[in-house]
Amino acid sequence: MSHEGTNIPSHPYYPLDIKLINYLANDKDPLFLISVFATGCIIILTTTILLIRKTNPTLPTSDFFTVLWFVMCMFPLPSHFQVHLTNDQGGFIHLLIEGHYTLNFLTLHQSPTVLSQMWKVYSLSDSRYLTQNAFIFCMESITAFIFGPLSFLLAFLILKNHPLRNALQTLVSTGQLYGDVLYYATNGFDEYVHGLTYSRPERRVLWGLYVGLNAVWIVVPPILVYSSMRASGKAFAALAKMERVLARNGSAKKV
């Protein structure tokens, strides 16, 4: 329903006075959107598991789940979702969820595509995604186009037990944690300093979407950073020990 005499439709987002020109309400049921998202996750996880078993069947369990984590961090869209997920000419069939936001952030609130409708559901917990917020745009762009590809590269390095794995894992995980901390911090700052509330007051929205979908980025990355730092520390300790042994052997030969 629209306000009479204006082209600004009513909307369910907070603050209630934000202007969403030509806002288009979702026509897809939230359960349908969840099912599409869940189907995408299942396809990606299943494909990744089969690939791991084929390329490195002896991969340790911890590394197995780490590969799944970083593959899901990028979340490419299966190509057969093209018709259902986007109406854009040219069809970005392998676009990230964050990438979809970045490429459509100016018109996300007007878009009828399934991915846009997913974002409009999530925006009930953070309306900054519909108001061209500078921080959200920059953060999601970095996530999509820098940390996304690096996550795939990291998954490959883990499968190959590459020596650069832990360095890249520390870099990517630190970036993920930093981005999530800033995401929460900027929201909290606006609420407590400027009195701006971006989430609807319902508990299922605040805790289910805003907290539930983002808290994992506070929990998992520090674990992976610790794991990489520990592995790197052991490697440098072993190298130092080897250098001392070689030095002693060299001195003994001279005597």
Residue 200, domain member (yes or no): yes
Residue 241, domain member (yes or no): yes
Q: What is the pLDDT of residues 39-67, one digit of tens each?
A: 888 888 898 999 999 999 999 999 999 99
Residue 253, domain member (yes or no): no
Could you give the number of structural domains in the chain?
1
Q: pLDDT-based confidence at 95, cuts 50/70/90? A: very low
Residue 199, domain member (yes or no): yes
Residue 162, domain member (yes or no): yes
Which residues form the domain of 97?
30-247
Residue 22, domain member (yes or no): no
pTM for this predicted structure: 0.84
- % of the chain at pLDDT higher than 70: 85
Q: What is the pLDDT of residues 156-206, one digit of tens each?
A: 999 999 999 999 999 999 999 999 999 999 999 999 999 999 999 999 999
Residue 254, domain member (yes or no): no
How far apart are alpha carbons 23 and 52 in whole angstroms?
44
Q: What is the pLDDT of residues 5-37, one digit of tens each?
A: 445 458 999 999 999 999 999 999 988 988 888
